Structure 1
């Protein structure tokens, strides 16, 4: 038998206006207003950390102490990724061009990801969270998020899926490499807008990164630096996104759940404080972020009580848990799905 999958309730159309009610409350509180001063400060501090990290890299020179620099830069690269994410949702500035410039500089130039490719992928995720066949974040061949996926990909994949809960965090060490390669493929296929700028900045990043590492470090140190830096970058990035939807309700392709429930019931918040907000880039307020993608990051915490009370008033489950508990829930889901009988045994 297939493991039970959480499903969303079928909701009648009269509930569709509830989101409009919540949106009016949020707008009236000024929570969708831009916070340019916050973002200018955030951009300046993160840029200083980025430049400082590479200045330290040059100053230290050929040394195994550079592995500590690699770990620090993995942290900074992820913080740059969070800013690219905010720019992609136009949270920073009212000008579309300003958000785009920030996004492409942080993604393509600073960390080596195609901004245009990621925007397309991420927008599809927001439109169809946890929806089979439509959410690219659950259409990953290396993992099965539903029983149907586990059964349909053959015996070899099914054998791997049986252990996917144990392999999940080690696989995140390869996440950055996977994103770099996906960006390269997207640019090569010419599927991104403003491909010329994206390709140029991406190439400058790759050339500058590899030149700096292999010129300053010995070959063995250079390889070790890249492995540590890219591995920890992928792990940190993956651990920041993993609590958001994994193990939450899955949507069937023909589901007609309304927008409010689609976003709330497929998302999970992570309980914490200012340090949690900083380390997870505001993604710990995943429910609020999915309901209002353009809401500036510092306003998400302020919106939380309003959204939670609204959900409770309308008998809508609002999921919030600790960071460790969120990982445990995600891993339990992966374990259950991975134990789905193989195609031959089903």
Structure 2
């Protein structure tokens, strides 16, 4: 089952974990002390680029009856929506730019260009997901109440639809985000106050209605006879954004090595243990500068989970120090190419559509699920010949070779 003793699983002592926490705190202080005009220029340039692409895309769609204009306008608009969603909306609402005291890009005032309500998302994502990352029963992002992504989740007959649910979630991801805060699963069990549910529901309907009116009525109507073509261009651009956002998020949370945890693990959790859980519960993918930007720098999901409110443009720099700490403590740094990480996520979703009896590994040592019980002796050891640490990374490699 999921990890219930993260210190044992990580092959660290309690002193090691607290020392690791102190070093992560030092990274935070260093970055915060160095924030300045270069960082402010970065986010302002990102905003200008996003607005330029959106304006250019919508302008081209006035000639959407001309195929190159339709394709060009759709591509520009889809790219603009990706940037607004990933590099701007997600990161601004994390408070990454609040230190600038600029009301335009402050977490308290930003409303992003998707169907989800910003205030709802900040509760479900910033608070619940980032505080209880991958903790079963506390973090609704573990499958979003829809997908079975770990053997710790009970198999039910409707689980056979896992791949279909994921495909639909990809295409209409913004609506999944909009519905998440409504906690529909809890509503059916009477676990949500009815008055509160109605209030949230009205806010969701208002935001969804606004988005539908903007993208599928107002903007297409402005192009006159090209209305049907502009409508389909807007729909396509939104789906481009939805699929890309879903891909980036899934690559950060569901590939092999992004571990799950039990509620027992967060009882009396120290800051060092929290850092360790964030690191072991997340995964990165490799990207160049352009892909980094389009991913909102969430190709550095590990670093983002360690420091969710530090500016995204600094995550590459932070990753160098995080990797060094992983090497020092012999901890895994889970990363891979985007296609590999994404296919691993899909593989997990597809195979967990089946009951456990049809799966080969156990719930403690499957690629997508691990725990301290997979090791017979998880305690940290020092190689007597070299004096180097033999920890979790070494143990995982040895286990893979058996």
Both proteins in one fold, TM over 0.5: yes
| Correspondence for 2:98 among 93, 96, 104 | 93
CA shift, 1:33, in A, is: 2.5
TM-score, normalising length from structure 1?
0.80
Match of 2:338 in 1: 323
TM-score, normalising length from structure 2?
0.70
Instruction: Classify the secondary structure of the residue corresponding to 1:249.
Output: coil
**Superposition map of 1:136-175 within 5 A:** 136-151=140-155, 154-155=156-157, 157-161=158-162, 164=163, 168-169=166-167, 171-175=169-173
CA shift, 1:101, in A, is: 4.8
CA contact (8 A) 1:31 1:295 kept: no
Change (3 A) 1:28 1:177: closer
Extract structure 1 runs of 4+ deviating beyond 4 A: 29-32, 61-65, 99-106, 180-188, 198-205, 217-220
Question: Could you list the runs of 5+ residues in structure 1 that have no partner in the other structure?
Answer: none
**Superposition map of 1:128-207 within 5 A:** 128-151=132-155, 154-155=156-157, 157-161=158-162, 164=163, 168-169=166-167, 171-180=169-178, 189-191=198-200, 204-207=210-213
Distance 1:315 1:66 in 2: 52
Q: Are residue 18 (structure 1) and residue 27 (structure 2) matched?
A: no
> What does the per-residue CA deviation read over 1:242-267, in whole Å, with 9 as the maximum and x for residues that have no partner?
11010321112222461121001111
CA shift, 1:320, in A, is: 1.8
| Correspondence for 1:115 among 113, 118, 138 | 118
Segment drifting more, 78-87 vs 212-221: 212-221
How many residues matched? Answer: 327
CA contact (8 A) 1:103 1:115 kept: no
CA shift, 1:148, in A, is: 3.9
Q: Are residue 244 (structure 1) and residue 252 (structure 2) matched?
A: yes
Question: Could you list the runs of 5+ residues in structure 2 that have no partner in the other structure?
Answer: 8-12, 185-195, 358-402
Instruction: Classify the secondary structure of the residue corresponding to 1:251.
Output: coil
Distance 1:55 1:8 in 2: 55
CA contact (8 A) 2:97 2:105 kept: no
RMSD over aligned Cα atoms: 3.4
